[in-house]
Amino acid sequence: MCGIAGLTASAPRPTDRPRVEAMLAALAHRGPDEQRVVQAGAGCLGTARLALVDRPTSRQPMADPSDRYALAFNGEIYNYRELRAELERAGVAFRTTGDTEVLLHALVRWGVDALPRLRGQFAVAFWDGLERTLLLARDRFGIVPLHWAAGDDGVAFASEVAALRAAGLDTPLVVRDVVDTGVLWGLHPGRSVYAGVRSVPPGGFVLARGALADERSYWSFDFAAERDAGTLDDQAARLVDLLSGAVARRVPAYGVPAVLLSGGLDSSAVTGLLRREVGDDPVDSYSIEFASAALDESPFQRAAVRAFGTRHHAVVADDETVAAALVHAVEHAGMPLVRTAPAASIGLAARIEANGTRAVLSGEGADELFCGYDLFKVAWIRDAWSRDPADPRWPRLLEEALAQQRGMGRAVERAFYEQGLDERSDPVFSHQNRWRSSARLLQYLAPDWRSAIQPEDVLAGVRERLPARYRAWDVVEQAQYLEVTYFLPSALLASQCDRPYMAHSIEARYPFLDEDVADFALTLPLRAKLAGLEEKVVLKVATAGVVPDEIRGRVKQPYTAPEGEVFRSRAGDALLDAFVSPAALTRHGLFDASRVAWLVAKLRRGRTSYYDDLALLWVLSTQVLADACGVDTHLEAV
């Protein structure tokens, strides 16, 4: 992948090139191989390139032979060979062998109609110098980031908001969006936490002429009206075939990728299929071992290593190492955190970079598409429980479903999930308990902000954005939509994956988010994904013979780094003093110093809950960002 940046205007400006150069300097970690700026009339585009395809000739930004069009492109187009063949049949002549020129000519010939035809992970900036129009677009799931801001005379865009600041844009935090990250564990599509800055939505594009911009979608997450009626064995055979193709497409032209190996089903499936694809070629695997026995999955990681014969590398994450990396992780994430996992990821990324690895395969997306999270089981149980509150089967099933969380030290009370059973008509029924519990973090806002933002207003923001087709879906599939819309692109793909790995110039690729795999998953009936308390049913059948039985049959363990314990370490205690002490909190006036002090004291006594730890991390990470860019203090900005 790369970093891209640029500025457009109604006429060329002599200041644009140095500003774009400054933007690229802020993105150098994303593209260490080459930084290049092209002035194309009133558009100035730049690319910091991490070269994995056609290294010698596919320089970016790239112009077409007429110099009318220019392209800055971050990511990979996996079906570029097929698109190239189609374009050649139409008379297009190519000068290079990579995907950049194919994408350029596809956009010249087909315009925005090219976007649904792309298979890959990408962020695109395509400039038409004659019409003075800019097209910005992202892949379906938002794997690759792209932010933009409209000015008086044009648009600024960049892979990361830090690059917009490097161009001179003022980007203070917007409290409303900061609150959304804490309550929803993500952002509404198109939003960012910065004033005046938007994110191109996953599966979306922006067409801009001057300062006027039109946002649209070319793809949306939608379940098939008619579901696959085949047998489970037939569905499993189809899935493993599609997933094998997805893995094969993600093997770079310049060597075998490494794999991120957690010891769970998803990463093991990717590793097993990669081993089939590359035969006896060496495969490197990387994992995080947690010092906490409750979180550690290293026995299963070692089982996978033995089964697949990988050259394995592990880093140990404990409270001290996670705390030491936390500020770095927040700065790269560019948004408040609700989990410390990005700090563990950034430590792993450093190890991968030190070994000279550039591309890794990872299993993200499987949980969302095939119902791997406990949340889906709980949604199914609560839905049935709401219809028959007196039936004792449902609370017993709930206890069974949550046994794994108790083993990780998370006591969950029946009363917690009993709340809201009488609100089954609420379209966000599946997420009510999580989001309302997370909304307790609002109590730590300063009084003026606290009175201006109500928890139910946050949930109302979700309800008003739901598509019309949403209400026709089963409660579990509604939960899938919410996870794909909020958690996946923000907390997972952005904060935990793209930003930590690209901080060390590592490109992560996700076979489960392949278009063919995802499209097939959206045709499956619920029973193929979740059957009672059995998650990922079809995936488990599909990976028989690929993944060792001891991994394929294990209970799903959510990937979790240490949370509250991080702040009880020496490095964590220093973070509390630096960012959430009463003196630190007065720097921005966003939080209630006395209430935060109470929370810190509670933590130091060792008595915080999961949601207390979440709130403290959210407050601290918001403070880190506020130190870098300030806070929009206008109440109307909420």
Indicate the fold that domain 2-217 takes in CATH: Glutamine Phosphoribosylpyrophosphate, subunit 1, domain 1 (3.60.20)
* Residue whose entry in the numeric block shows the structure tokens 């007196």: 390
Q: Is the pLDDT of residue 366 over 50?
A: yes
Q: Is the pLDDT of residue 29 over 60?
A: yes
What pLDDT was estimated at residue 423? 93
What pLDDT was estimated at residue 53? 52
> What would the 3-class secondary structure string for 276-340 be?
HHHCCCCCEEEEEEECCCCCCCHHHHHHHHHHHCCEEEEEEECHHHHHHHHHHHHHHHCCCCCCC
- List Cα–Cα distances, 262 to 62, 68, 296, 314, 348, in angstroms: 38, 47, 9, 10, 12
Where along the chain do its domains lie? Answer: 2-217, 232-369+486-552, 373-475, 564-637
Amino acid identity, position 25? A
Task: Reduce the DSSP state of residue 585 to 3 states and report it.
Answer: helix
Same fold, 2-217 and 232-369+486-552: no
* CA atoms 601, 604, 607, 612: torsion sign: positive
Q: Is the pLDDT of residue 292 over 80?
A: yes
Amino acid identity, position 107? L
492 and 364 Cβ atoms separated by less than 8 Å: yes
Q: In what order do the strands lie in the sheet with 212-217?
A: 62-63, 69-77, 120-128, 133-138, 204-209, 212-217
Q: How far apart are CA 575 and CA 147, in angstroms?
A: 29
Q: Mean pLDDT over all residues of the chain?
A: 94
What pLDDT was estimated at residue 413? 67
Q: Is the pLDDT of residue 408 over 50?
A: no
Question: Which of 154-163, 223-232, 397-406 is least confident?
Answer: 397-406
For domain 232-369+486-552, which CATH number applies: 3.40.50.620, 3.40.50.300, 3.50.30.30, 3.10.450.50?
3.40.50.620
What pLDDT was estimated at residue 294? 84
What pLDDT was estimated at residue 403? 79
% of the chain at pLDDT higher than 90: 88
Number of H helices, E strands in the chain: 28, 19
For residues 296-319, average pLDDT: 95
What pLDDT was estimated at residue 606? 87
Q: What is the pLDDT of residues 119-144, one digit of tens each?
A: 999 999 999 999 999 999 999 999 99
Q: How far apart are CA 106 and CA 127, in angstroms?
A: 13
Instruction: Assign 56 a pLDDT band (cuts: 50, 70, 90).
Output: low
**Residue 240 corresponds to which tokens in the numbers above?**
């493993």
Instruction: Assign 414 a pLDDT band (cuts: 50, 70, 90).
Output: confident
For residues 41-51, average pLDDT: 91
Instruction: Assign 50 a pLDDT band (cuts: 50, 70, 90).
Output: confident
What pLDDT was estimated at residue 295? 87
Q: Is the pLDDT of residue 336 over 60?
A: yes
Residue 533: count other Cβ atoms within 10 Å of its Cβ: 15
Q: What is the pLDDT of residues 530-569, one digit of tens each?
A: 999 999 999 999 999 999 999 999 887 777 888 899 999 9
Instruction: Assign 624 a pLDDT band (cuts: 50, 70, 90).
Output: very high
What pLDDT was estimated at residue 313? 97
Q: What is the pLDDT of residues 65-84, one digit of tens each?
A: 999 999 999 999 999 999 99
Q: How far apart are CA 262 and CA 285, in angstroms?
A: 10
Hey, what long-range contacts does 254-257 have (CB within 8 A, 24 or more apart)?
Answer: 254/52, 254/55, 256/281, 256/282, 256/283, 257/357, 257/359, 257/360, 257/361, 257/509
* Higher-scoring residue by pLDDT: 279, 402: 279
For residues 568-592, average pLDDT: 97
For residues 221-247, average pLDDT: 97
What pLDDT was estimated at residue 406? 56
